[in-house]
Structure 1
Amino acid sequence: MSEKKKQHGAGQLLPLFVSFLKIGAFTFGGGYAMIPLIQKEAADRHKWMTDEEIMEIVAIAESTPGPIAVNAATFTGYHAAGVPGAVLATIGVVMPAFLVIAAVSSALTLVSGNQWVKWAFSGVRAGVLALIVKSLSGMYRQCPKNALSYVIAAGVFIAAGFFNASVLLLIVLCALLGLFFSLRKRGERR
């Protein structure tokens, strides 16, 4: 790690922990629902990374084992402040869920049949869907706008959605296709 990153990173440890604690505390619906909040905190507010780097981290987090939220927090923390940043961001994003699950698990069994609780969770699911769509629209703006990108996106959607293809395999295939066609295009320009 460079000396500049070490100096920049040490002052970012508390903000990293607090940011990911907030993200973990106020996001329902899993890792994909966290992406817009991670983007807002890491790219817009703290400038730890760019929107493009957020997309790269999401792709890496999706292709590595484990929950996307934990992976994204770990990679973002590492990018901003090295190993200590990765550890604190990961603890921050996981801690709220751990505490809530520990506190609520016994109470939820008592009210799980309650219609009011069911209605509340249906509203939460609708809100999470809106956040995922917002995240997708932000990612779309960052993607190349050409026929190849649309064909790859449609192919991956079909392979994952209808044939339950391996996400890791699809991401590797997309990377290889992007590399192949970029090198081919570069060769045609010469």
Structure 2
Amino acid sequence: MAMLRTGILGYGGGPSIVPLVRYEAVTRFQWMKDEEFMEVLAIANTLPGPIATKLAGYLGYRLKGTSGAAVGVLAHIVPTCVAMVGLYSFIQFFSTSHVIKGMIAAVVPIVAVMLGVMAYEFGEKAIKGLGWVAGITFFVISFLLLQTFSVHPAIVIFLFLLYGSFHHKLKDKWKKKQLGSGEDA
């Protein structure tokens, strides 16, 4: 039912549906913690294909194995397929209507706010886990890689996943070094 709701209520493509999937998986049904959802989202972003479908498949598989993955994916995409056929016919018929153009334009700010809130919450957790300096540094590095150097997002995510796999080891090593130099003084 959760993936059916995301399939019915989701509008604007995969990234705009992620907050809906997060709500269902983390808040409503508590299948996982927010931190785990962020990790799953990061890994899913590195794989090819629509993000919302990958999340639906993962959640279904996590709960009920292979059959759960199939049901999760189908529950998510079937409402969209049915709606696309119906809406395409409707939009073709009313394609010159200013009301329809206004309705479509009105949804864009809502999706932007939903993504902004989710990004803020993820950023807040990153700052808590990494600290202000590392959090802002990683934000600037990712911004530069994505916007200035036009590095593909999957590569940036992979680089930060790679760093994340060594983060705690590096942090512990740095703390030991700090404690060791403090004892020498």
For Structure 1 versus Structure 2, the TM-score category normalised by the shorter chain is: 0.7 to 0.9
Cα deviation for residue 40 of structure 1 reads 1.8
User: Partner residue of 1:46?
Assistant: 29
Q: Percent identity?
A: 26
Would you say 1:170 and 2:170 are equivalent positions? no
Aligned positions, number: 173
CA contact (8 A) 2:46 2:157 kept: yes
Any stretches of 5+ residues in structure 2 without a counterpart? 177-185
CA contact (8 A) 1:57 1:76 kept: no
CA contact (8 A) 2:60 2:70 kept: yes
TM normalised by structure 1 equals 0.83
> 1:138-177 alignment to 2 at 5 Å?
138-143=121-126, 144-146=129-131, 147-177=133-163
In the alignment, residue 179 of structure 1 is paired with which amino acid?
A: S
Q: 2:55 aligns with which of 56, 72, 81?
A: 72
CA RMSD of superposed structures (Å): 1.7
Are residues 159 and 95 of structure 1, via their aligned partners in 2, closer, same or farther at CA, if it must alter by over 3 Å?
Answer: same
Cα deviation for residue 145 of structure 1 reads 4.2
Would you say 1:121 and 2:107 are equivalent positions? no
CA contact (8 A) 2:4 2:76 kept: yes
Q: C-alpha deviations, 1:41-66, integer Å up to 9, x for none?
A: 11122121111111111111111100
> 1:1-190 alignment to 2 at 5 Å?
18-143=1-126, 144-146=129-131, 147-190=133-176
Structure showing greater relative contact order (alpha-carbon pairs closer than 8 Å, 6 or more residues apart) = 1
Tell me the distance in 2 between the aligned counterparts of 1:178 and 1:145. Answer: 10
TM normalised by structure 2 equals 0.85
Cα deviation for residue 35 of structure 1 reads 2.0
CA contact (8 A) 2:21 2:52 kept: no
Tell me the distance in 2 between the aligned counterparts of 1:96 and 1:161. Answer: 35
Tell me the distance in 1 between the aligned counterparts of 2:147 and 2:94. Answer: 34
CA contact (8 A) 2:45 2:51 kept: yes
Any stretches of 5+ residues in structure 1 without a counterpart? 1-17
CA contact (8 A) 2:56 2:73 kept: yes
Q: C-alpha deviations, 1:67-116, integer Å up to 9, x for none?
A: 11111111122222222221111111111111111122132122222211
CA contact (8 A) 2:16 2:115 kept: yes
CA contact (8 A) 1:34 1:69 kept: yes
